[in-house]
Amino acid sequence: MPPIRVVVTKPEYVKAEAVFQAAPDMDVRVSDWPEEAVAATVREHGAFAAILGVERYSGALYEALPKGGILARFGVGHDGVDKPRATARGLLVANTPGVLEDAVAEHAIALILGVAKNLNAFALSMRAGQWAPRLGFELRGRTLGIVGCGGIGRRLARFAGAFGMTVLGADPAAADPAALQRDWGFAEIHADYRAILGRVDILSLHVPANEHTRHLVNADLLAALRPTAVLVNTARGPVVDEAAVYDALTSGRLGFAALDVFETEPYVPAAPGKDLRTLPNVLLTPHVSSSSVEACQRMAHASLDNVRRAHSGTYGAVSLLNPDVLAVLGQR
Ligand code: GLV
């Protein structure tokens, strides 16, 4: 069997180079961004598959891959891939659920602890030669609100439980709230996130970016939180109205924001004069919550598996995000 020709975007390749190099059944070519360059590399290489990061693909790539080919996300979030467009072109779209939950939940805990223990302020003041102690707070007895109780939200609930936090979950799609309470340590599960807002010390977001979640965290939601509350976002930037968060942080209506994801990445302030990086009550990381060595290796393996299964027509085993494509491919 000739190797399967695959194009991998450079940042993803670099995150798990050894895995990509060690795939004997793959002929891997690395591509720079932007989308036109990825599409050109796909064409040159005659690629069947493109393994992609979080960037937005809205044009040339869909025309470059062959019918039956695959857009394979290296990761879970798929807001950057246009599923209807892929379906119309007969392209599969897949992601890698189940391999990065621990990495992201650990990062959320790291952000929460970073805020609780003033790590950002101490790192800066020590570096500046100052000795500037101040009080932190403990997690035990605090209430954590988790919006989105899927794989990552559940892991976070369990970790938070180990710190002695009370965890309130909100998820309109939670099929079995009793199981979430029994198996993952949620104290309560609500269909409507508004039920938990006024009761939490920390609110952590674990929902995808889509038309229902865009600016879910807006001025109204922020007004319903306690003024000392900490907002944590390791989900997707567009879920949060960053200008509203800036206003809340600077007017004493929000205590702290710990953000790993942004409306524009690399970060650009959402409005002139509202640069979150200038504020003392923020802790910011550059969209790295799933970027542990281990999770990246698992994402590489899982995305390559999706490619293999698509190539062999074993569609039922692909983590497929656009099942309608099977009808286009004459499989249903
Ligand atoms: C990371 O942000 C992912 O969607 O996997």
Judge if 162 and 198 occupy the same domain: yes
Q: Dihedrals φ, ψ of 21, to 5°?
A: -70, -30
236 is catalytic: yes
Domain count, the chain: 2
User: Domain holding 79: CATH number?
Assistant: 3.40.50.720
Question: Which residue, judged by its Cα, is nearest atom 4 of ligand 1?
Answer: 77
Judge if 105 and 95 occupy the same domain: no
Judge if 167 and 62 occupy the same domain: no
Establish whether the linkage from the previous residue to 266 is cis, with ω within 30° of 0: yes
pTM confidence score: 0.97
Provide the domain limits for residue 249.
101-284
Judge if 321 and 260 occupy the same domain: no
Q: What is the mean pLDDT of the chain?
A: 98
Judge if 126 and 49 occupy the same domain: no
Q: Give the span between the Cα atoms of 321 and 166, in whole angstroms.
A: 34
Question: Which residue, judged by its Cα, is nearest atom 2 of ligand 1?
Answer: 77
77 CA distance to ligand 1 centroid (A)? Answer: 5
Q: Which of 136, 156, 140, 137 is nearest to 148 (CA)?
A: 156
Choice from 15, 239, 290, 321 to test ligand 1 binding pocket (greatest atom count within 8 A of CB): 290
Question: Which residue, judged by its Cα, is nearest atom 5 of ligand 1?
Answer: 75
190 is catalytic: no
Residue type, 260: D
Judge if 222 and 304 occupy the same domain: no
41 CA distance to ligand 1 centroid (A)? Answer: 23
Residues of the chain with pLDDT under 50: none
pLDDT of residue 332: 73
Of 36, 63, 138, 265, the catalytic one is 265
